């Protein structure tokens, strides 16, 4: 196991590689591995396998049915009972569960904003729509980690709303071998306690989309964050409908080369930027910065390709708008040091 080294965002991700998963071969060996994982999940949830709902159909031919159904109601009740993350404090989700699952956790006046008037005023609701899909695309392949860091920053802003629950992260196993996995200490430093993060990895895109859709329908999550190469229009529409129904925002980080997703409320293009100088060590990276462009917005005055330079304050857990003069001064210092 090692870290993805990126001077701007190294604390946000960790490159995880488990050789024992790569050496598993054959249906029986995979079945034994799945059984072991289900046992561990049952122990975490403090439930026995018999307490789960009826098995769901196999996700693909040749594999046994799942003994842990990820239904909307089951997941919502699990989150409400505080079973996700033993160190997670009791979640402020008011109201009783109904037969259709938990009530919408984000109805009412709760707002999900950047906290920067120049950006929020261009968005239709004075902030991001908490019941829609928002696409985040890196400008280049090398900006993928920056895009993930920006997505997590938006999630952390979402967690500051009064009724915020856990966060669901979904991704492909093969993608994690290339770009890494969320790194607990790094997330904690930037404002997201690892105990509030539920992680799902799958082998196929359709399985990741299914997990995201079910999480959105549960209505008990602060946000759903998916990392995918791309998704077709039908899948994007299903996510949009599930986000609207569950009152849960969905962030999707897609490949820089893939076509834009349909049925999204906004689309953001993210490029890495040089960080500010560290206050105590000039050789260490300072606050994380991104150059962010709003490429599309379904409603409102934005979506005209306006760009901003943003930095993330990991003390106040907020965005700051970088003045063009300050940005130019940082670049000039970098050129003098021979690093720009």
Residue 306, exposed/middle/buried by CB under 10 A (0-12, 13-18, 19+)?
Answer: middle
Give the closest residue to 212 by CA, choosing from 221, 186, 279, 14. 221
pLDDT digits (tens, 9 = 90+) for 43-64: 655 544 344 343 333 333 343 3
Residue 4 lies in a domain: no
Q: Give the pLDDT confidence score for residue 126 in this predicted structure.
A: 87
End-to-end CA distance of the chain: 31
Helix, strand or coil, per DSSP, at residue 72: helix
- Give the Cα separation of 249 and 131 in Å (integer): 5
Residue 93 lies in a domain: no
Q: Give the pLDDT confidence score for residue 302 in this predicted structure.
A: 59
Q: Give the pLDDT confidence score for residue 280 in this predicted structure.
A: 87
Residue 95 lies in a domain: no
Q: Give the pLDDT confidence score for residue 22 in this predicted structure.
A: 39
Residue 1 lies in a domain: no
Check which CATH number belongs to the domain holding 308 and give it: 3.40.50.300
- Residue position matching structure tokens 């938990």: 102
Structural domain range at position 158: 13-87+100-337
Helix, strand or coil, per DSSP, at residue 216: helix
The two three-digit tokens of residue 189, written as one number:
């430093």
Residue 2 lies in a domain: no
Q: Give the pLDDT confidence score for residue 250 in this predicted structure.
A: 97
Q: How many domains does the chain have?
A: 1
Residue 327 lies in a domain: yes
Q: Give the pLDDT confidence score for residue 283 in this predicted structure.
A: 84
- Give the Cα separation of 292 and 305 in Å (integer): 10
Residue 40 lies in a domain: yes
Distant-in-sequence contacts of 109-116, Cβ < 8 A, 24+ apart: 110/161, 110/162, 110/163, 111/161, 112/157, 112/158, 112/161, 112/249, 113/157, 114/157, 114/310, 114/319, 115/157, 115/318, 115/319, 116/308, 116/310, 116/319, 116/320, 116/321
- Give the Cα separation of 123 and 129 in Å (integer): 9
Residue 5 lies in a domain: no
Q: Give the pLDDT confidence score for residue 103 in this predicted structure.
A: 30
Q: Over the chain (340 residues), what is each successive 10-residue block's mean pLDDT?
A: 35 37 55 73 52 38 36 41 38 31 36 91 88 96 95 94 86 90 89 92 95 94 95 95 95 95 94 88 88 88 81 91 64 51
Q: Give the pLDDT confidence score for residue 333 in this predicted structure.
A: 54
Q: Give the pLDDT confidence score for residue 314 in this predicted structure.
A: 85
Q: Give the pLDDT confidence score for residue 214 in this predicted structure.
A: 95
């Amino acid at each position: 196991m090692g870290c993805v080294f990126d001077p701007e965002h190294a604390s946000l991700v960790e490159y995880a590689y488990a050789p024992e998963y790569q050496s598993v071969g054959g249906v029986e060996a995979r079945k034994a591995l799945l059984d072991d994982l289900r046992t561990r999940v049952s122990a975490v949830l403090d439930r026995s396998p018999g307490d789960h709902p009826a098995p769901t159909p196999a996700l693909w031919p040749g594999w046994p049915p799942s003994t842990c159904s990820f239904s909307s109601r089951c997941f919502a009740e699990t989150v409400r009972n505080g079973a996700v993350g033993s160190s997670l404090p009791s979640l402020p989700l008011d109201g009783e569960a109904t037969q259709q699952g938990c009530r919408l956790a984000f109805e009412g006046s709760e707002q999900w904003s950047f906290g920067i008037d120049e950006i929020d005023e261009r968005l239709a609701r004075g902030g991001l729509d908490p019941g829609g899909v928002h696409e985040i695309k890196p400008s280049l392949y090398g900006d993928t980690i920056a895009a993930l860091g920006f997505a997590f920053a938006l999630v952390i802003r979402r967690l500051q709303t009064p009724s915020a629950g856990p966060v669901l992260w979904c991704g492909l196993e093969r993608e994690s071998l290339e770009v890494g996995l969320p790194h607990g200490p790094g997330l904690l430093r930037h404002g997201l306690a690892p105990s509030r993060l539920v992680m799902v990895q799958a082998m196929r895109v359709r399985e990741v989309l299914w997990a995201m859709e079910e999480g959105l329908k549960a209505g008990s999550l602060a946000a759903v964050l998916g990392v995918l190469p791309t998704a077709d229009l039908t899948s994007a529409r299903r996510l949009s409908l599930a986000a609207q129904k569950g009152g849960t925002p969905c962030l999707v980080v897609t490949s820089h080369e893939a076509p834009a997703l349909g049925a999204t409320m906004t689309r953001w293009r993210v490029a890495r930027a040089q960080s500010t100088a560290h206050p105590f060590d000039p050789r260490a990276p300072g606050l994380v910065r991104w150059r962010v462009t709003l490429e599309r917005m379904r409603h409102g005055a934005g979506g005209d390709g306006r760009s901003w330079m943003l930095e993330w304050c990991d003390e106040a857990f907020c965005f700051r708008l970088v003045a063009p003069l300050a940005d130019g001064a940082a670049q000039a210092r970098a050129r003098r040091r021979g690093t720009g």
